[in-house]
Structure 1
Amino acid sequence: MVAAIAEIGGGYLVWQWLRERKKINIGLVGGIILFVYGVIPTLQPSNFGRVYAAYGRIFVVMAIIWGLTIDKKRPDRFEIFGGFIVLIGAFIIFYAPRQ
């Protein structure tokens, strides 16, 4: 969840700088946060692919929550349904028995 908040939050700050014409300091802080986001997955004990599969599900859910809380955009039924599909797929990738 920390990685998702860092990626979405950092990206949001860069978005604010470039798209909403905020000061460059906002973009720089966003860039630093995005760098930290890149480091966070390396702290996980599993292999790279599984870490990103697990992270992907969290990212999708957190992006929908971000839209709801920060952007004040209520998710539609397709975003909710798609989010559930992502959660199921990532669960299979991460927890399927391996030989």
Structure 2
Amino acid sequence: MELFKIFGLFVATALAEIVGCYLPYLWLKHDRSAWLLLPAAASLALFVWLLTLHPHAAGRVYAAYGGVYIGVALVWLWVVDAVRPTWTDALGTSVCLLGAGIIVLGAKSA
């Protein structure tokens, strides 16, 4: 069960980071309102706070988080940008998530 909580926390952290970066992108590249920078800053602050909730040492968390981030980013690509990921995207994400799982589970056994 704890593994599911950690994974959910990784997903929430990734979404906060992606939203925090996506909103300034809309402002800079798509002529959207500069007011988007306010929720972007709030989202990035949430991202930083969520990082502090992870149960392991920072370096290990960042390494495992990277694998989950890749998966969430590709889901974002599909859902928000309407670009369907390729089979190589799915394969690469699977490899990254496997690596993230090894890092998280290995930390528990060490």
TM-score (norm 2): 0.81
Moved over 2 A (4+): none
* Structure 2: unaligned runs, 5 residues or longer: 1-10
TM-score (norm 1): 0.89
Q: Structure 2 CA distance, aligned partners of 1:14 and 1:31?
A: 9
Aligned-pair identity (%)? 34
Question: Aligned pairs, how many?
Answer: 98
1:44 CA drift (Å)? 1.9
1:95 to 101, 105, 108: 105
State the Cα deviation string for residues 32-84 of structure 1 (Å, max 9, x = none): 21122112111222111222223222211111111111100000122111101
Alignment of 1:1-99 (within 5 A): 1-96=11-106, 97-98=109-110
Q: Please report the RMSD computed on the Cα atoms of aligned residues, expressed in angstroms.
A: 1.3
Q: Structure 2 CA distance, aligned partners of 1:93 and 1:45?
A: 13
- Does the Cα contact within 8 Å between 1:10 and 1:29 map onto a contact in 2? yes
* Structure 1: unaligned runs, 5 residues or longer: none
Q: Structure 2 CA distance, aligned partners of 1:83 and 1:31?
A: 28
- Does the Cα contact within 8 Å between 2:68 and 2:96 map onto a contact in 1? no
- Does the Cα contact within 8 Å between 2:70 and 2:96 map onto a contact in 1? yes
